Amino acid sequence: MSTLNILIAVCAAYVCFLFLVAFVADRLALQGKKAWLRSPLIYTLSLSIYCTAWTFYGAVGSAARNGFEYLTIYLGPTLVMVSWWWLLRKLIRIGRTQKITSIADLISSRYGKSSLLAAGVTILAVIGTTPYIALQLQSVTLSFSVFAAQENGAMPRSQADLALWLSLGLALFTVLFGTRNLDAKERHDGVVMAIAVEAVVKLVALLSVGIFVVWGVSGGIGNALSEIDASDFGHWHADRSRWAGLIFLSAAAFLCLPRTFQVLVVENDDENHLRTASWAFPLYLCLISLFVVPIAVVGMNVMPDGSNPDLYVLTVPLALGENGLAMLSFLGGFSSATSMVIVAAIALSTMVSNHIVMPIWLRLRPSGASVSGDVRAAVLMARRISIVGVVMLGYLYFRLSSGGEALASIGLVAFCGLAQVLPAMLGGMFWRGATRLGAFAGLTIGFVTWLYTLYLPSFGVGTILPASVIETGLFGLTWLRPDALFGITGMDQLMHALLWSMLFNTSAFLFVSLVTFPSPLERLQAAQFVNIFDHSASARSWSGGGAQAEDLMVMAQRILGAREAQALFASHARKQGVGGDLPDPTPNFLEVLERELGSSVGAATAHAMVGQITGGMAVSVEDLMAVADETAQMLEYSARLKEQSEELSRTALELRNANQKLTRLSIQKDAFLSQISHELRTPMTSIRAFSEILRDTDEMEPKDQSRYASIIHDEAQRLTRLLDDLLDLSVVENGQVNLNLRDGTLRDALDRAVASAGIGEDGTKFEISRDLEKENIVLHTDLDRLSQVFINLIANARKYCDAKAPRLAIRVMQEADRVVIDFQDNGTGIAPEAVDMIFEKFARVSDQKAGGAGLGLAICRQVMTRLGGSVDYVPALRGANFRVVLPYRTALAAQ
């Protein structure tokens, strides 16, 4: 079997092995055996996603070409990892508590959930990552071609076919394991495990080649070192600006690359893993770069001139006849390429689907996101399509660039592009004053500068940017030349682009942030991000599933009721096949529970409650706003209910009062009827009796006759008066009364009333006090009717005042628009329960005191209403107090 066929077989076997690893890891994760899957070691190894095929092959090539510069690519990330305590810990805490799914999500979330910003970062990431994916495809096809060249000088299939099949395979793998579930935390156990395995393969391969080169070829460390000194490396020489600039660039890229962000923040399961990774990942990087120089030196010595130094890792063992080692080395490169493509595709697809496809899809759909299951399926589909799209975009780029040399330098170009996110990211994490507009301005300017000074020129002169622009600048302005902005020439193109883009980016970000004002949501998020350690609970507050399930149970009981909650938990425990009544808090169960709770307390509240117990995650501002919204709705509803019930009870009270009044009235009516019939019968009886005597007695003394006749007359008069009263009332009530309006003073009216009612028939002494001066008010009204009211009030006072020395005070007060006349006696007054009855017809305060027919006050009120005023009973400190009010238009001051 030829080497190439073995290679293909090994490759296929390796891919199958990766599928198996990912599959098993996913299964284990589903069964909840995450402890081993999510160890600090796995986390550290998964970070090696930073080291792509560009690293694996390119580092040696870079060392052979540029000396020590390759080291900077690893020193930057090492510095970042060493900064774990103040930088990464915060980043990861933010990622966990805010449920960050990608770097675009981080930026958008920090700046008030700006979808525009998210889309911008996503586009930047796609533009920056696509060439990178192409680079991986190129490295794999290149390494294949090395074996093919050794075999018979020709590829069995064209490079493009190989790249196509490779991309399809990678897309399949990513779709299979990257979109299994739509976990809110976006963790992919299978993928992470496969990447960790690939990390080991990479390291072992490179170390093996290195050890072989140092001990097998050079013959020990000392010899290797002297060989280095003797080689082209000679003495230390490095472009100083590139040394510093590349350290910065690689550090920035390590934080901002979508794939590293994915494993560093999104896939992180436990903050404590960072503690191990802080030293273990630098160690990994150190080991990866340890043998790069020796391999390069040996390569330069062993390989013929003109051979590609990028492939020394592969060609050196092959040239020295170590086919097995070459195979291992090939697998290392293959691993680097595949893992990069897989994670980049996952990270990018998350961004593309969340921030570009879904918003558009939701907007295009007429009904919006009403059915949750529907959206879920759509998100998964969008993600799958995005994965295939991203990988195919990389393939397309590879085809279009035809695998040229330009691709080799694209790694740093991409780094520089993605580093544009850094100011907005760090500013958002450490500075509360950073605003959305600032971030947007910085990103835009940085992106445009990068595009103009580095990305577009990287395609070569005349491809996208015309040669004239390169030579004489944009619009013929020489200070706008893409490789010499402001006429500063002589700088390395990458450093030139990095310097200006970061300078413009940061300045714009800072300046616009300083002069703009953030929205409330932004300010809340800013506080959340910057003071993350104040806001978020310690990530590990719950240990073991038992405690969680119990807490969920307690909460569910409180909300759903004990029996319902127990039934729900027990049925799920049975379904899961778990002993006891407490099911494991699997995503499925949590979903059901959340829905159940949601029907009682609202979806957002339920989500927050469950999240608090299971994830230990802080509630995001959006959650809080949703909760507040729900609560407000409930409050409003309950307030409305309360209002309605209050109104009902008010109505009921009124009805009850009315009923009581009616009952009392009915009783009094009965009493009045019996009274009036008595009143009518008594004079009738005497009239009949005396008229019978007059009729039947023939001889009668004229004196007796006249006495009897006068009795009959008196009684008839009494009857007439009674009937007059009744008639009077009905007339006044029906509004048929004719008012005899004329001018006169109040004093006259009162005088007349006091004269006719002030002295009792029995001559009881009744003292009336008046202020004659004040009574001097000219009225234009029906004075007779007014006197009638006064007479009634005075007569009432005389009749009912129970004081030993009855006294009545008549006080007149002239106010702005009315005249008030108070009649206050010194008796005990009217009982409160009788107050609302006294103005009713037939109402009498007591049955004992046989008074009139109980019509007097009713008539008074009717008369006063006719006159445009009122008469009321005013509760006084002592005694009864009636108040007559006359409107001013009928009262004109005499003065």
Contacts to another protein by CB under 8 A? 67-68, 71, 75, 78-86, 225-226, 228-229, 231, 233-238, 240, 243-244, 247, 272, 275-276, 278-279, 282-283, 286, 290, 293, 531, 533-534, 536, 538
Q: Are 108 and 433 in contact (CB under 8 A)?
A: no
Contacts 24+ apart (CB under 8 A), 571-580: none
Measured distance CA(687)–CA(539) in Å, rounded: 107
**For 321-467, where are the E strands, in sequence order?**
none
Strands across the sheet with 891-893, in order?
A: 742-745, 777-781, 891-893
Closest CA to 884 of 799, 796, 820, 800: 820
SS3 state of residue 818: strand
If the CB atoms of residues 86 and 517 are measured against another protein, the closer one turns out to be 86
If the CB atoms of residues 240 and 765 are measured against another protein, the closer one turns out to be 240
Cβ count near 65 (within 10 Å): 15
Q: Is 486 left (phi over 0), alpha (psi -120 to 50) or beta?
A: left
At its nearest, how many Å lie between another protein and the CB of residue 239?
Answer: 9
Q: Are 174 and 342 in contact (CB under 8 A)?
A: yes
Measured distance CA(137)–CA(731) in Å, rounded: 110
Measured distance CA(566)–CA(432) in Å, rounded: 46
DSSP 8-state symbol, 780: E
At its nearest, how many Å lie between another protein and the CB of residue 282?
Answer: 5
Cβ count near 187 (within 10 Å): 18
β-pairing, 767-770 with 807-814?
Answer: parallel
At its nearest, how many Å lie between another protein and the CB of residue 69?
Answer: 11
Kindly list the distances between the CA atom of residue 630 and the CA atoms of 551, 603, 636, 637, 709, in Å, as whole numbers in the listed order: 24, 8, 10, 11, 90
Closest CA to 891 of 725, 744, 696: 744
Q: Are 340 and 53 in contact (CB under 8 A)?
A: yes
If the CB atoms of residues 39 and 507 are measured against another protein, the closer one turns out to be 39
Q: What token pair was written down for 29?
A: 């994760």
At its nearest, how many Å lie between another protein and the CB of residue 66?
Answer: 13
Q: Are 137 and 399 in contact (CB under 8 A)?
A: no
If the CB atoms of residues 282 and 299 are measured against another protein, the closer one turns out to be 282
If the CB atoms of residues 80 and 810 are measured against another protein, the closer one turns out to be 80
At its nearest, how many Å lie between another protein and the CB of residue 385?
Answer: 41
Residue 627 C-alpha from the chain's centroid: 7
Q: Are 411 and 132 in contact (CB under 8 A)?
A: yes
Please, which residues have CB within 8 angstroms of residue 267's CB and are 6 or more apart in sequence?
Answer: 43, 46, 186, 187, 188, 192
At its nearest, how many Å lie between another protein and the CB of residue 525?
Answer: 18
Q: What token pair was written down for 343?
A: 């994670």
Residue 813 C-alpha from the chain's centroid: 64
Measured distance CA(103)–CA(266) in Å, rounded: 9
If the CB atoms of residues 236 and 475 are measured against another protein, the closer one turns out to be 236
If the CB atoms of residues 244 and 673 are measured against another protein, the closer one turns out to be 244
Measured distance CA(821)–CA(770) in Å, rounded: 11
SS3 state of residue 579: coil
If the CB atoms of residues 243 and 361 are measured against another protein, the closer one turns out to be 243
SS3 state of residue 883: strand
Angle, CA 374 vertex, CA 372 and CA 378 arms, to 5°: 115
Buried b (16+ CB within 10 A) or exposed e, 594-605: bebbbeebbbbb
At its nearest, how many Å lie between another protein and the CB of residue 82?
Answer: 5
If the CB atoms of residues 620 and 781 are measured against another protein, the closer one turns out to be 620
At its nearest, how many Å lie between another protein and the CB of residue 330?
Answer: 27
At its nearest, how many Å lie between another protein and the CB of residue 12?
Answer: 38
Kindly list the distances between the CA atom of residue 870 and the CA atoms of 363, 387, 833, 834, 845, in Å, as whole numbers in the listed order: 68, 87, 21, 19, 20
Please, which residues have CB within 8 angstroms of residue 667's CB and are 6 or more apart in sequence?
Answer: none
If the CB atoms of residues 528 and 890 are measured against another protein, the closer one turns out to be 528
